[in-house]
Amino acid sequence: MSNRSSLGSKLVASPYIVWSVLFIIAPLIFVVYYSFTDASGAFTFENITALSKYTPTFLRSIWFGIVATIICLIIAFPLAYIISQKTEKVQRTMVMLVMLPMWMSFLIRTYSWMALLQDTGIINNLLGKIGIDPIHMINTEGAVILGMVYNFLPYMIMPIYSVMAKLDYSMVEACQDLGGNRLTVVRRCIIPMSMPGIVSGITMVFVPSVSTFYISQKLGGGSFDLIGDVIERQFQQSYNYNLGAALSLVLMVLILISMAVMNRFTGDEEGVVI
Amino acid sequence: MKKRFASVLFALILALLPCVTAVAAEQSEIDALRGTTLYVYNWGEYISDGADDTLDVNAAFEEKYGINVVYETYDNNEVMYSKLKGGGVSYDVVIPSDYMIQRMIAEDMLQPIDFSNIPNYKYIPEKYKNLAHDPKNEFSVPYTVGMVGLIYNTEMVEEAPDSWTALWDENYENSILMFNNPRDAFAIAQSILGMDYNNESEASWRVAAELLKEQKNVSPAYVNDEVFLKMEAGEAAMAPYYAGDFLTMQENNPALDFVYPKEGVNFFVDGACVLKGAKNKLAAELYINFLLEPEVALANAEYICYASPHTEVFNNPEYSFYEDEILYPEDGKFKTQLFLNLNPETLALMSTLWDDVKNYIPSGTGNHDFFFGGSGSAVSTDDGEAMTPEARRYALYIGIFAAVCVAFVIFRYARKKYRENI
C-alpha cells in the first residue's frame, strides 16, 4: 500500500522534478561554472575579484529594494485589511482592480510612467494648468523607487490579503472584549496573525526590486544603474558571460542572506511583534 | 489582407520593371528553392513592411521566388552578436554594421558571397566599396548608410549648437540626452578630444572616459529608442542620434533641427551578409539581390528614412529625400570616421570604462534627490576607489536600517525575558 502510494507520488511529482532539473538546477550550475572560468574556460577567481568596483551598484540596489519594500508594506497592509473587511462581492472587484495592471505588460506600464513623469509630461502639464511650476521628477531616485513600488505592489497586497481573508475574526472580537483599543487590536492581534502573508509579501517585493533592470533605465534615465542593469549589459552588450554570471551569483547569495536574516527576524514569532 | 494587397502592388511593380537582371544561378536551381525557408535577422523597423500602403518587401520576395521568409529583428549589433554566439539559432541573412561585420569576418562567422548571384551590386557606387571593414568586398553588400549628428530643439536652445561640447553645457542641465551604448558615446568624447575612434591605446580610452564622466554634471539621460518620444515631446533640448531618425522626429515636431558637429561624426554602413552555416545560401543571395532591386531599395529608403547606397535611389528625382542635404551631404563636407573592430582587450576595456561612467555620480550635485532631500553625505570627494560619496551614503542608510532592525530584535528579546521574569 505505502509502496504504491510512494510510486504514485513520484509519478505525480515527476513533471516538476524534470522541469526543475532542466530549467532551475542546470542553469544554476552554468551560472556557477561561468562565474569561476574565464572566456577560454580556464578556472579563475578574476570575475569575483573584479566585483569590488560594483560595490556602489550593489549598495544602491539593496537600498532601493529596502525602500520600495517598506513603502509597499505601508500601502499594502491597510489596503489588504480594508479589502478583507468588505462583502465578498466587493472583495472580488477590489482584488480584480489590484490585479488589473498586471494584465498589461510590465514594460508598457513602466514606459507609460515615463510619459507621466517627464518635464513635459501629463502630471507637469496638469500642474501647469493650475499655476504650479513644473517639478522635475523623471531621472531621479524617487522615480525609480516609484516605478518599483507601482510594479511590485500587487505582490505585496495579494499574500497579505489572502491571509487576512481567512483570519479568524473571533480572535479580533476577543481582543476587543478584553478591552483592547483599536491600536492594540492591530498590534497584538491582526499583525501577528497576518505575519505569514507579510513575510511572503516582503520576499516577493524585495527580491524582484533588488534585481530589476528595466525600471532604472527608463525612469532613472540610465543614471542610476542597478545591479540588474549591469548584469544585462554584460550579457547583451559586452558579451562577458563570465562577469555577468559572477554578478548574478553574488546577487543570489546576497538575496539568500537577506532572506535568511528576515526569517530569523520573523521566524520565532509567537504572537507579539511590536 | 495586407499580403494580398502587397502582391497586387508587386505585380504592378513587376510590370513596370524595365528589365529584371538575371542572376547567374540556373533557373532550375532557383525553382528548386520553392517551398524552402529563408531565415533573415535584421534591425527592428529596418525594412518596408507593407504598413501605410508601402511595399511589403518580404511578402513580395515570397511571391516572386516561392521561398518562405522567417524574419526576426534585434535592437543592436551586440544583441545580435550575443545571440549568434550563444548558439542554438541559425539564420541565413544578417544585416550588421561595419565594425560588427569586420568582427564577424575575423571570428569566421560569415561566408563569402557569390557576387555572380547579385547582379544588382552594380548599383552600389564605388565610394561604398573597398571600405576598411570589408576591404575586398567579399562578405557584405551595403544596405543603408548614414551619419550621426546632433539633434536640437530650436525653441529650447539659445543659439544653434555646432559642436559636440554643447552636450556638456551646464545651461542645459537635465535637458540633454546621450547614447546609451558605449561605442557611440565614446565616439562623441573621442571626437571632441580629436582622437581616432579605432585607436587601441588604453590611456586615450581612459581620457575619453573621464570626459564622459564630466558630462554627468549636466545629468544627461542615457537613452536608446526613447529618444524619439523625448525629443518629439520637447522633453530634452539636445540629443545625438542618426540623421535618418532625425527626419522621422522632425515630422512630428517641426521645432527640431539638426547639425553635423564640426569635430567630426561617425559614418556607418550596414551591410547584408550571409552567415557561415547558412542552410539556404542561394536563397540568401537571391534575397540580398532582391533588396537591391531599384523599386525595393526605393521602398526601403522611403520607409527607413536612412540614406541609401543605391544609385537608382539617390539619383531618382521622385524619391522624397532626393538631394536632401542632411541625408546626402556633399562628399568630404564633414569630417567622418568609420567604426572598425577593436581588439578584445580594448573591447573589454571599453566595457569596464562604460560601467564606470554609468556608475559615476559627480559629487556636489544634489538635484537627483527629491526623495531623500539634500545630497546626503559630506564625505570627502576622493572617489578614486570604489567607495564614492554616493556609495557611502547608501552604505550609511543600509547600516542605519540594519541597526534599527537589530535594536528591535534585541529589545523584543529583552522584553520577553523581562516578562517571563515577572
Domains and CATH numbers, chain A: 55-239+258-273 (1.10.3720.10)
Categorise residue B157: left if φ over 0, alpha if ψ from -120 to 50, beta otherwise.
beta
**Alpha carbon distance B311, B331 (integer Å):** 15
**What's the rounded Cα separation, in Å, for the pair A175 and A182?**
10
pLDDT for B77-94, tens place per residue?
999 999 998 878 889 999
Average pLDDT over residues A160-169: 91
Q: Does residue B378 surpass a pLDDT of 60?
A: no
Q: Where are the alpha helices (DSSP H) in B38-158?
A: 57-65, 77-85, 98-106
In this prediction, residue B258 carries a pLDDT of 97
Residue B386 has pLDDT above 60, yes or no: no
Calculate how close chain A gets to B174, using CA atoms only, in Å: 8
pLDDT for A50 equals: 87
State the average pLDDT over residues A8-18: 90
Tell which residue, A223, A208, A34, has the closest CA to residue B212: A223
Q: How confident is the model at residue A8 (pLDDT cuts 50, 70, 90)?
A: confident
Three-state secondary-structure class, residue B371: coil
pLDDT digit string, tens, across residues A86-108: 999 999 999 999 999 888 899 99
Instruction: Report the helix count and the strand count for chain A, using DSSP H and E.
Output: 15, 0
Q: Do A141 and B229 touch (CB under 8 A)?
A: no
Beta-sheet strands, E only, within A46-204: none
CB B127 within 8 A of CB B288: no
Res B377: pLDDT: 38
pLDDT in tens, B18-66: 445 567 777 888 999 999 999 999 999 999 998 888 899 999 999 999 9
| A272–B174 CB contact, under 8 Å | no
Q: Which amino acid is at B360?
A: Y
Indicate which of A30, A59, A66 best probes the interface with B, i.e. most B CBs within 10 Å of its own CB.
A59
Distance from the Cα of residue B231 to its chain's centroid:
17
Tens of pLDDT, residues B177-207: 999 999 999 999 999 999 999 999 999 999 9
Q: Which residue, B388, B385, B374, B177, is CA-closest to A60? A: B388
Q: What is the pLDDT of residue B256?
A: 96
Q: pLDDT per residue over B85-133, tens digit each?
A: 887 888 999 999 999 999 999 999 999 999 999 999 999 999 999 999 9
- Cβ-proximal residues to A94 (8 Å cutoff; 6+ apart), any chain: A83, A86
What SS3 state is found at A78?
Answer: helix
Closest CA to B36 of B284, B293, B272, B290: B284
Burial class (CB in 10 A: 0-12, 13-18, 19+), B382: exposed
Q: What is the ipTM of this complex?
A: 0.84
User: Which percentage of chain B shows pLDDT scores above 70?
Assistant: 88
CA distance B179 to B90: 30
Mean pLDDT of chain A: 89
d(CA B245, CA B304): 8
Q: What is the pLDDT of residue B280?
A: 94
Residue B299 amino acid letter = A
Which residue in B174, B351, B359 is closest to A225 by CB distance? B359
A221 to chain B: closest CA residue: B221
pLDDT surpasses 60 at B369:
no
Q: From residue B130, how far is each of B99, B124, B144, B197, B341 by CA, in Å?
A: 14, 11, 16, 19, 16
- The whole-angstrom separation of Cα A83 and Cα A86 is 6
Question: Shortest CB distance from A119 goes to which of B180, B235, B354?
Answer: B235
**Distance from the A57 Cα atom to the nearest Cα atom in chain B, whole angstroms:** 7
Ranges A224-233, B270-279, B413-422: which has the least confidence: B413-422
Residue B376's region, left for phi above 0, alpha for psi from -120 to 50, else beta, is left
User: pLDDT band for position A267 (50/70/90)?
Assistant: low
Length of chain A: 274
Residue of A38, A117, A239 to mutate, testing the B interface (most B Cβ within 10 Å of its Cβ)? A239
Closest Cα partner for A201 from A120, A266, A115? Answer: A266
CA distances from A212 to A99, A241, B18, B75 (A): 20, 18, 56, 20
Give residue B27's pLDDT. 87
- Assess contact for B220 and B177: CB atoms under 8 A: yes
Please give the pLDDT value at position B371: 41
pLDDT score at B370: 40
Contact B219 A66 (CB under 8 A): no
Residue A228: pLDDT band with limits 50, 70, 90: very high
Q: What is the pLDDT of residues B1-21, one digit of tens each?
A: 344 444 445 544 544 444 455
Q: Write down the residue that cell numbers 483570519 correspond to.
A: A167
| B306 φ, ψ (degrees, to nearest 5) | -90, 165
Q: Which residues of A fall within a CB distance of 8 Å from B219? A: 139, 221, 223
Residue by residue, what is the 3-state secondary structure of B9-61? HHHHHHHHCCCCCCCCCCHHHHHHCCCCEEEEEEECCCCCECHHHCCEHHHHH
Q: What is the mean pLDDT of residues B72-81?
A: 92
Can you tell me the distance from the alpha carbon of A221 to that of B230, in angstroms, rounded to the nearest whole number? 11
Helix (H) or strand (E) run with residue A187 in it: none
Confidence band for A160, pLDDT divided at 50, 70 and 90: very high
In this complex, the residue of A136, A221, A236 whose CB is nearest that of residue B222 is A221
- Of all residues in chain A, the one with the smallest CA distance to B360 is A223
Using the CB atoms, write b or e for B279-297: b if 16+ within 10 Å.
ebbbbbbbbbbbbbbbbbb
What is the band of B380 on the pLDDT scale with cuts at 50, 70, 90? very low
Nearest to B351 among A62, A63, A240 (CB): A240
How does pLDDT run across B204-261, given as a tens digit for each residue?
Answer: 999 999 999 999 999 999 998 889 999 999 999 999 999 999 999 999 999 999 999 9
Q: Of B59, B52, B48, whose CA–CA distance to B8 is shortest?
A: B59
Predicted confidence at residue B364, as pLDDT, reads: 54
> With 70 as the cut, is the pLDDT of residue A268 above it?
no
What's the confidence (pLDDT) of residue B405? 85
Distance CA B113, CA A58 (A): 47
* Residue A132: its H or E element: none
C-alpha B307/C-alpha B298 separation (Å) is 10
Please compute, for residue B6, the number of CA atoms within 13 A of its CA located in the half-sphere on the CB side.
Answer: 21
Query: Which residues have CB under 8 Å from B75's CB, separation 6+?
Result: B43, B44, B224, B225
Angle made by CA atoms A204, A206, A209, in degrees to the nearest 5: 105
What is the amino acid identity at position B193?
A: L
The residue-averaged pLDDT of B350-379 equals 63
C-beta atoms of A272 and B416 within 8 A: yes
Mean pLDDT of A218-227: 89
**Chain A residues contacting B, CB < 8 Å?**
52-57, 59-60, 62-63, 66, 114-115, 118-121, 135-142, 145, 217-218, 221-225, 229-230, 233-240, 265, 272
Q: Are strands B68-74 and B37-43 parallel, antiparallel or unpaired?
A: parallel
Which residue's C-alpha cell is 473571533? A170
Identify the DSSP state of B236. Answer: -
Residue B3, pLDDT score: 43
Q: Average pLDDT in the A76-80 region?
A: 95
- pLDDT above 70 for A54: yes
Mean pLDDT (whole number) for A157-186:
90
A33: CB partners within 8 A, 6+ apart: A245
Q: Copy the grid coordinates of residue A248.
A: 548574478
* Nearest C-alpha neighbor of B178 from the set A54, A60, A139: A139
Residues 6+ apart with CB under 8 A from B256: B151, B152, B153, B154, B231, B232, B246, B249, B250
Q: Are strands B110-111 and B265-275 parallel, antiparallel or unpaired?
A: antiparallel
State the Cα angle at A99 between A98 and A100, rounded to 5°.
95
Cβ contact B361–A62 (<8 Å): no
B264-286 confidence digits (pLDDT tens): 999 999 999 999 999 999 999 99
Condensed to tens digits (0 to 9), the pLDDT of residues B312-333 reads 999 999 999 999 999 999 988 9
